Amino acid sequence: MPSIDEMSESLKLLSDKTRLTIMALLRHKEMCVCDIVDILETTQPNISQHLKKLKSGGLVHETRRSQWIYYSLNVDDKPYVKQVVDQLPSMQAKIEALKSQGCH
């Protein structure tokens, strides 16, 4: 049974628009930092810092694969987070748009 403290911490991570959009993107597939930067049209340090918060809050998982670091969702152990993420709108259009000029 999650405590109010745990829940409010996770919800704070989800309450930022940029981070919530990152979660919506990762729902489709794992992505590297530069993919997310391109799609969200912001700076690389901005995204890196948001990802760091999501990671230390246990909401995403990272894997290095040569020079790229791929991030993926890690929400299966938090039902109240998973249910929110599952209801995020599709980002398919934005992902398609990226494909044509992918970051690598």
Partner DNA sequence: TGATTATATAAGTAAAGGATTATATCAGCA
Partner DNA sequence: TGCTGATATAATCCTTTACTTATATAATCA
> In whole angstroms, what is the distance from residue 62 CA to residue 55 CA?
8
Residues 6+ apart with CB under 8 A from 61: 55, 71, 72, 73, 74
Can residue 33 be called a binding residue for DNA (CB under 7 A)? yes
> In whole angstroms, what is the distance from residue 96 CA to residue 102 CA?
10
Can residue 46 be called a binding residue for a copy of itself (CB under 8 A)? no
Can residue 14 be called a binding residue for a copy of itself (CB under 8 A)? yes
Nearer to DNA, 27 or 30 (CB): 30
* Residue ranges in 63-92 that form contacts with a copy of itself under rule CB under 8 A: 79-80, 83-84, 87-89
Nearer to DNA, 12 or 28 (CB): 12
> In whole angstroms, what is the distance from residue 25 CA to residue 28 CA?
6
* Location of structure tokens 């670091």: 69
Can residue 8 be called a binding residue for a copy of itself (CB under 8 A)? yes
What string marks each residue from 71 to 90 as x (binds DNA by CB under 7 A) or -? --------------------
